Amino acid sequence: MSNVAEKPSALRSYYEGLARNVFLATLCKSCQGYTFPPTGCCEHCGSWEVEPTELSGDGTLLLATHNISPACHPRFDAIAPYVYGHIRLKEGPIVQAIVLGVQPTPDDLKALFERGPVPVKAETLRMSDLPVIAFRIAS
């Protein structure tokens, strides 16, 4: 087992990456599974032998909905109301994130679902405190 104390903080690296529009996960050397957001151990097999790896930012929107309650944190007030969804990244992990490029109306959400699998691309939203990953509908 590696010395965990010698590893840089996965969360710090994640946010530093987001600030540069780089999307990081950890890749397990034992089972080759991706963990997103990155952590110090593999969420699939529990191995501590993980290394930071850059994700493509490409994905497929699996489902989307809109928020009907106030934003969960004041930092999201500026973009509310918004759509959020589950996105399967090209590398495999499924993430929950804000979806850009679609309005949070019943008609727009219905049209989105009628399109079938919808390609999306990750981008960073600059918020008042921490950057946030979001996915834009690809044209």
* CB half-sphere exposure, 63, CA atoms < 13 A: 3
Count of domains in the chain? 2
Structural domain for 9, as ranges? 4-55
Contacts of 52 (CB under 8 A, 6+ apart): 10, 13, 24, 25, 26, 27, 38
Q: How does pLDDT run across 68-106, given as a tens digit for each residue?
A: 766 677 777 888 889 999 999 999 999 999 999 999 999
Whether residues 85 and 106 share a domain: the answer is: yes
pTM for the structure as a whole = 0.86
Gap between the Cα atoms of 93 and 90, Å rounded? 8
For 3-49, list the strands marked E by DSSP. Answer: 23-28, 34-35
Whether residues 10 and 62 share a domain: the answer is: no
Q: What is the mean pLDDT of the chain?
A: 89
Whether residues 72 and 91 share a domain: the answer is: yes
User: How many C-beta atoms lie closer than 10 Å to residue 98's C-beta?
Assistant: 18
| Per-residue pLDDT band at 31 (split at 50, 70, 90) | very high
Q: How does pLDDT run across 115-126, given as a tens digit for each residue?
A: 888 999 999 998
Gap between the Cα atoms of 29 and 47, Å rounded? 8
